[in-house]
Amino acid sequence: MTRKFFGTDGVRGRVGEAPLTVDFAVNLASAAARVLAPEGGSVLIGKDTRLSGYMFEAALEAGFIASGLDVMLIGPLPTPGIAYMTRHFGCRFGVVISASHNDYHDNGIKFFDAEGGKLADELEERIEAELAKAPVTRSSNELGRASRVDKQRKHYQDFCISTLPKGMSLEGFKIVIDCAHGAAYKVAPRILTDLGAEIVPIGCSPNGRNINAGCGSTAPQLLQLTVPGVRAQAGIALDGDGDRLVMVDHLGRKVDGDQLLYVIAKARKEAGRLTGPVVGTLMTNYGLERALRALDIGFERAAVGDRYVLAKLRDTGGVLGGETSGHVLTLDLTTTGDAMIAALQVLAVMRETGRSLAELTAGLQLLPQHMVNVKVARRFDPASIPAVVAARAQAERQLGDRGRVVLRASGTEPLIRVMIESDDHREAETLANSIADVVRAVEG
């Protein structure tokens, strides 16, 4: 079945435009209740700080109660926190109202199963099939009840702290925390403060419209200025729903998801606590692959998207993976990518080794990348075009083990993405443009 509404991370779009309307949210709640909890039970609803979150929260609440489910409303909480609290409360499933790193005009609705994992494709397809039916309203004696459980957020804070070595504190650390005016604006600073760190908060004053606006993991420039300005040991930038992490070292330099994976993987390898291969994506920098190989750490690539990283980790028995954008998964600690838990693992390495973040990342040399996005009239598989295949093979012969070619169709736009990684940036640019010219000729 081709899914019409569910993408790689739930249903997402512009608020007020199909499908992100109140009517759709009520219908979606009713459909999800029939598929995920046909015999009743409870559901947890959490959200980020977008103004539209109140509207969708109310619509989903109505749909679930009308279907006979009890609703627990926890308010703003990071996506991974909702996954954890779904398990903690023993709910049949959990719901997140968020559009992650997008601006406030957008919103989304995604689900976790009872174990805090993302829904299987088959379940999402069944929910879509149920959307063709009218929402259910049970009789008065069969309706669910609603309760607010926002004071229970501390359970998630305590859980995050429990992922550190027992007794570890962050006393003596000054940390700048940027919450992107998003879902983590309450819990993230409290976690660091409870651990004894001195914090400098930015991006912690949401007004419903400023989520991800010039702040957070997608725009860490203010964080990069603030960390050296206040002489902090490190900076932490989260995205709007708290599952992406970018850090900043004491010199004000950005540390991306590939570098964070390197720091955590190396420390775990040295401690004998690394299981299975590290998993990245097609876009993970080749420099990370080479650095892990030098440490005798296996590395595998999945399709772009944290759900595909998760699937590959499960297939290979690995526990550590992620994306350059900052999704970092530590499956031995939690079920989904959690920015605060990942940040705590990095801070723990800093504490245990006495080394700065700059020193910990020094052993990883990222390769220069050059990306060309070729607009096409129709989406096609570049691997099916002999001329494109030949151009790629020629570039790969020239690069040898000094670099890598990535050639793929965008999953969301009519684009063919051509990326070259090479020790020589000029070579990367030349080869990328050469392959892009061949792709353009296909359209001609």
pLDDT score at 379: 78
User: Whole-angstrom Cα distance, residue 263 to residue 418?
Assistant: 28
Q: Which of 273, 261, 272 is nearest to 299 (CA)?
A: 261
Q: Which residues pair with 271 in a beta bridge?
A: none
Is 30 considered catalytic here? no
- Predicted local distance difference test score (pLDDT) of residue 7: 86
Identify the pLDDT of residue 442: 86
Percent pLDDT > 70 in the chain is 99
For 161-252, give the CATH class: alpha beta
> Is residue 424 over pLDDT 80?
yes
pLDDT tens-digit series, residues 159-215: 999 999 999 999 999 999 999 999 999 999 999 999 999 999 999 999 999 999 999
Q: State the Cα angle at 134 between 130 and 140, rounded to 5°.
A: 110
Q: Identical fold at 11-152 and 257-361?
A: yes
Q: Per-residue pLDDT for 1 more than 70?
A: no
CATH class of 369-443: alpha beta
Which pLDDT tens digit goes with each residue over 264-282?
999 999 999 999 999 999 9
Does 412 score more than 90 pLDDT? Answer: no
**207, 213 Cβ separation under 8 angstroms:** no
Assign domain 11-152 to its CATH superfamily: Alpha-D-Glucose-1,6-Bisphosphate, subunit A, domain 3 (3.40.120.10)
pLDDT in tens, 88-107: 999 999 999 999 999 999 99
Q: Give yes or no for residue 410 having a pLDDT over 90.
A: no
Q: Please report where in the chains the tokens 């490190």 appear, as a residue.
A: 234
Over residues 318-335, the pLDDT tens digits come to 999 999 999 999 999 999
Cα separation, 151 vs 188, whole angstroms:
15
Single pTM value for the model: 0.93
Q: Dump the DSSP string for 370-436.
A: EEEEEE-SS---GGG-HHHHHHHHHHHHHHGGGEEEEEEE-SSSSEEEEEEEESSHHHHHHHHHHHH
The residues spanned by each domain of the chain are 11-152, 161-252, 257-361, 369-443
Whole-angstrom distance, CA of residue 184 vs CA of residue 338:
11
Residue 307 has pLDDT above 90, yes or no: no
When pLDDT is averaged across residues 374-385 and rounded to a whole number, the result is 88
Report the pLDDT averaged over residues 236-251.
97
Give residue-wise pLDDT tens across range 40-62. 999 999 999 999 999 999 999 99
Of 100, 217, 325, 422, which is the active-site residue? 100
Question: What is the CATH code for 257-361?
Answer: 3.40.120.10
pLDDT value of position 285? 96
Query: pLDDT at residue 233 above 60?
Result: yes
